[in-house]
Each structure stands twice: as structure tokens, then as C-alpha cells.
Structure 1
Amino acid sequence: MDIDAIKGISLVDFLHHLGYDPTGRDSKGLWFYAPYRNERKPSFHVNPRKGVWFDFGTGEGGDIFTLAGLLSGKSDFIGQAQYIAEKMNMPVATPYKPAPFVEEPTFENVEVSLLESPALLRYLEQRGIPKEIAQRHCVQVNYELHGKRYYAIGFENDAHGYELRNPFFKGSYPPKHITTVANGNSRCNVFEGFIDFLSVHLVH
């Protein structure tokens, strides 16, 4: 919502959009039937120059936001502004809704061993990673998730968690962290994932 634009709306225009037009005029403003109650004689007075209203039947008064609060039952400024914007056919932003909480998968019965699964080694070969390079830097992680057993290629990080890959799954076993590999070289290489890291060894 453009709050400044809403503040600039005249009470007369707002009442017109609500279906109320002046029934009379005096030296200070215009008379209307009160938009929030029934009455036989108009007692709702608007001063267009000052942007205020006063109901001589109830003794209430205020500005356009006060009136919107009475009509909508909203006591907060944003709620009143939204009501005005809707009645004036102005664009109203959708309220922010946080993304739903997604629970991290719970790994159970985790076992780490030498990478020997033919299916996992074949998956790496299809990605151009030979067995000797894969076994040098990776392990096999067997785990249980939601009551079912799985296995994946594991690449250990500096916090002793693992990045996990298999043909059908890409995830990690916490904690998440970076992996540093010391090779005695003063130059630092940074990789997005461990498959990229393994691929670089093919050219050395």
C-alpha cells in the first residue's frame, strides 16, 4: 500500500465510494447521513479543507482513519489503511507469510565404512570419477531414515558431518560445514561441491 496516497484521499471521495453523497452544505463543509448507523436526518458533518468529520448524533469525530476504524472494526493503523485501500480500489499488498517450517530429516543407525557398493561406484563412474579417486576421498554411509535403510557416498567435512550423494538423493548428515583438504600447496582452490573436487583430480 502507498500510505502517502491513502493519507491524501479526501473524506468526500471516500464516502462517495461507500455510497454516501452530501445532502447539504454550510459555510464549514458538507452534511451526510452517518455511514455506520441509521438516522432520519443527516448529522454527519465533513470539513473537506481540514479532512475531518464530526457526528453530531453521537459526539464522535476524527479523520479518514478514525472513520475506517469505526466502519471496519479495525483498531490498528495498518488494518484501517487496508480497509480504505480496498474501498478505494487501490492495490493492497499481500501480507507476508513465513515459509512453513520443514523439519530436517533425522538420520538413525548411521554406519561409516569403506566405499565398496557397486551401485555407488557405478554412479560415480557415470559421472567420470574412477574408483581409486572416489575411495581416496569418500566413504560409504549407511543410514536409516523414516524407518527405511539407505546408503550413499559420504564426503566428510571439518565438523565430522557428511555431504551425501547417491543416484536418487542429495543431502547432508549434520553438522554442516566446509571441508578443507591440505595438499601442501600454497594456492587455495574453492569448489561448490565434492563432485567438482573429485573431478579436478582427473586432470592432475
Structure 2
Amino acid sequence: MKRKINCETARNFSIVKALEKLGHFPKKSNEKEAWFLSPFRSETQASFKVSKTKNRWYDHGEGIGGNVIDLVCKVLTCSIKEALSFLNGDTLFFSFQQQQNLLKKETGIDIIKVQEIEHPALIQYLNSRGISVSIANTYCKEVWYLYKASEFFTIGLKNDKGGWELRNKIFKNSSSPKSYTYIQNNNKQLIILEGMFDLLSFAIMEDVLLNTSDILVLNSISFIKDIEKFIHKYIIVHLYLDNDSAGKKATQYLMNKYEHVIDKSSSYRNYKDLNDVLSYENRKEI
């Protein structure tokens, strides 16, 4: 009979193995450490370090770290009990059974269907983050794909190169090719957002401003320099980037370089991002 993992024994569970269960694989590895693309956001350069000798992780992009339980709780947004259940191999706690983050740049996926968002699990996930399905369907799609002969589904935001940003309750990743999403309405004002849920949150919180602006969703903070070619086209540029070290660094970079770029993160000063504000307001109403 298999022995159940508890809080004490879980700390010895290999973080590298846990990340593999979550669908994340190292970009480089040696006997002492392994480097991954962060499981907490989309990025193109590995900033997530795992010490194999200490069995601890550290995310250089966010400046946080911890043990394997901390990792699973953060990636899956779940309780310690649910994290232990996941490590034990029991997926019944999760509404997206058997859906792992199986996407790797090296393996790719085969998209088989793109449609309006209608799956109950996806709608439930959107609602939990304060997003209505009507708003989500304005900018996103329900994306079904094949991976190793198995079907999976997610919310997808298409980027300018035809790749997809992919989100559901279990994972956060993207298909190749990776790029930003540029929505042009022929306006003289540009709104720069960091990710899919920032866009959807902005559409609810600032719908008038959204409809009178052009929108650029980075999909990764690493695209900051790539999108500079658009900035000179606008009279004013508003930045709504995350209140983490990477977001603040990118904001400062653009503001130092362009006089017409304005930091708007003060409107969510005590929150991580726009969706954090919306989710908090949504929880208060429940």
C-alpha cells in the first residue's frame, strides 16, 4: 500500500519532480541546480532556479522562494491539503482533472478547435477572477488542442504571430510562436498591459478608456524593447504593469526614455495587478 505524503514527508519530495508533474521542464540542469521558465508567468528566459542539494526554489523575477508545498500552493492556487493531494497523485480536488501544463517549446501542440468560450469549467474559472464570459469572448477564445493523443482545453488570447497565451485554473503557459498582442483602433492613446487577465480586467474596470485607446498586451515583460517601435506613434502611453520587481523595472525603463509614457500602477498600489483588484472586489461581494 502506497504511503500517503504528509507535510513533513512532502518537504523531501523533489521540486524538480513536482514541476514535471505540473508540466514544467528545465531549460538547463546540472548536479546541483536546475533552471526553469517561471511557472507563475510567461517568459522567454529562465529565471526560476531550483537547488537540488537543498530542494528549494527561488524565482528571481518575483524575488520569492520556498519549499515544494509553497510551490504547489502558489502554482495551483490551492490549500496545503490540496497540494498534498496533488503530490500524492490524487487530482480529484481540481476542476480540471488530468489537465497538466504539458506544453513545451520543444514538443509543441496541435490546435484542433477554436470557438466561443462555453465550457462550464472555463466560465467558472473566469467568474472566480471577476470576469464575465461576455467580456472574455470579446478578446479570447476557447482553445482545444491535442498533446500526445490527449485533448485539453483552455482560455486563449491570440498574439500577433499566431501563437496563443493559454490559461485555465491549473496552468499558465503559451504556444509557439511567442509574441505580444496588439489591438489597433486608430486612436492616439496607447494602453500597455502585461497579460491576458490584465486586459480582461481593464475591459471591465475602464471600458470607456479601453474603447478609445489602442491596446498592447505584452504577454511577457521580456517584450518591452520589442514594442518600443510603436510608442512614438502615440500622443500619450499609459502603463499598467505588475507591481513586482520586473514590472517596476520595465515601467521605469520606459518612463526614463519617453516623456509621454505615464505609470498608472498607483491605481492598484496595494495589489499585484489589475486582476488582483478585481478579484478582491469580487470576493467582497460574494
TM-score by length of 1: 0.48
Q: Which has the higher contact order (CA 8 A, sep 6+)?
A: 2
Structure number with greater Rg is: 1
* Structure number with higher helix proportion: 2
